[in-house]
Amino acid sequence: MTQSQATAATILHADLDAFYASVEQLLDPSLRGKPIAVGGGVVLAASYEAKVFGVRGGMPGRKARELCPHLIFVGGRFSEYQRLGDAAIKVLDDFTPLVERISIDEAFADVAGCTHLFGPPDEIARAIRRRVKAELGLPISIGVARTKHLAKIASQVAKPDGLVVVEPGTEIAFLHDLPVSLMWGVGPATRARLAEIGVETIGQLARSHGGALKRLLGPAAGEKLAALAWNRDPRRLETHRRAHSAGAQSALGRKPAEARVFVPTLLHLADRVASRLRAKARPGRTVTVRVRFADMRAVTRSVTLEQPIQATAMLAEIAEELVRGVLAANRHEREISLLAISVSHLEESAELQLELPLGLADERLKPGSRKGLARFGADRAIDRIRQRFGKEAVGYGAAALEAARSVPDEFRELAEKELQLANSHPTGDRCSSSGGP
């Protein structure tokens, strides 16, 4: 590889625009050009026509209708989302084998090795956009740069339905005028903290004192954001990523921070996460919960266990204790808008280390105890029933099923990407602690 090839902008980030809403407009031409939202009680996705009015994902449906009285709600065609998302990524595969898919509607691609076949990176990006539009009828934005982080930012700048190429030598000038909110990992809470010290652009962040950033955001997040602000991002594409965590989340709108709300929701989330762990025979040691309040501030807590777990009830109880700890430390918060559970530090083997039946109070939380084994056996029986008769055949209580009705599971399974991305790129908006459940 020549020096010019090594320094060329060859990383593409392709992102389908307002994907779920765009699919609905594609399948129902009468919706084109109109403000639509996928969902009902909670907005799951919004078209660009709705976003103009301030409608966004995660917003309560009532608030969305106040902002946009003529908003049209649609239920969602989940199998079509999967089909069209797969087809779009397949277009990237036709140009290069180096594709890292990070969600149903976005992926990175490194085209350094195929320019002799298809032309320079910007021509490849244009060809991809033409094919996605012609073959699928969907708009897609692409950013091209030397690093993953900058390519992703470029694709956001390119929206809607555009292409932005950041050439070597222009990167810092391009980056430093942009708002910090475009950086991967800067959410509302981090953005607000940075604004308190007068940092609103990436350039202001880059020129900030490193010690101040570390005190404000924590050592790891401060150092990482400072590096990204100068376009220092050594990450390579991971074409065969092994899952390091399993997670699920539930957008609640604005609900009271009470046990009657969070207990059934956590049970439902634990059911979804633990069933995936059992299906892959990959129990995990670290349980993390995320609680987002009505003002969009989020708090994350975690605990690392002596033995890996994959039992639903066990995971739900540990998550409940963590959430209660978050709420106890934030007593002034009266409403919650999102709950999430993830399990990380996954292990390859599902073998359990048996423990003596000592009759301890926390024996139900030990996978190898008599109670722990009984819980795991009940889970496996439920798994077998669901495999034969479907997911709705049996569950863990009416309360959990009731909690699931506001957002269909098909959409959740497609849309859940934030937790794994957060674990891969932990930069702010996280307040972690560890300890016993």
Model confidence pLDDT, tens digit, residues 156-209: 999 999 999 999 999 999 999 999 999 987 877 788 889 988 999 999 999 988
Q: Give the 3-state secondary structure of residue 78.
A: helix
Q: Is 17 within any annotated ligand binding site?
A: no
Residue 298 CA to residue 262 CA, distance in Å, equals 15
Residue 158, pLDDT score: 96
Q: Which among 392, 385, 297 is positioned nearest to 338, based on CA atoms?
A: 297
Q: Has 106 been annotated as catalytic?
A: yes
Q: Alpha-carbon distance 402 to 395, whole Å?
A: 11
User: Of 122-131, 312-321, 424-433, which range is least confident?
Assistant: 424-433
Residues 122/10, Cβ–Cβ less than 8 Å: no
In angstroms, what CA-CA distances link 157 with 17, 142, 404? 12, 9, 35
Q: 174-178, 217-221, 310-314 — which is least confidently predicted?
A: 217-221
Nearest alpha carbon to residue 22 among 136, 182, 163? 136
177 known member of a binding site: no
Q: What is the pLDDT of residue 166?
A: 96
The pTM assigned to this predicted structure is 0.69
Output the CA angle 301-302-307, nearest 5 degrees: 165
- Burial call 311-321: b when 16+ CB within 10 Å, e when fewer: bbbbbbbbbbb
Q: Which two tokens stand for residue 2?
A: 């020549």
Which structure tokens are listed for 92? 């990237």
**Buried-exposed string 252-271: b where 16+ CB fall within 10 A, e elsewhere:** bbebebeeebbbbbbbbbbb
Angle between helices 210-217 and 219-229 (to 10 degrees): 130
Exposure string of 212-249, with b = 16+ CB inside 10 Å and e = fewer, is ebbebbbeebbebbbebbebebeeeeeeeeeeebbbbb
- pLDDT at position 372 over 80: no
Which residues in 83-192 belong to E strands, given as ranges? Answer: 99-103, 106-110, 140-145, 163-165
Q: Which pLDDT band holds residue 308 (cuts at 50, 70, 90)?
A: confident
Q: Residue 373: pLDDT band by 50, 70, 90 thresholds?
A: low
Laid out side by side, the sheet with 72-74 consists of 43-46, 36-39, 72-74
Number of other residues whose CB lies within 10 A of the CB of residue 408:
16
Residue 336 corresponds to which tokens in the numbers above?
A: 């919650």
Q: Determine the 3-state secondary structure of 145 from DSSP.
A: strand
Nearest to 374 by CA among 430, 303, 314, 436: 314
Catalytic residue among 49, 106, 171, 320: 106
Q: Quote the DSSP letter at residue 425.
A: S
Over residues 428-436, the mean pLDDT reads 32
Residue with the bigger pLDDT between 141 and 268: it is 141
Q: How confident is the model at residue 129 (pLDDT cuts 50, 70, 90)?
A: very high
Task: Tell me the pLDDT band of 286, cut-offs 50, 70 and 90.
Answer: very high
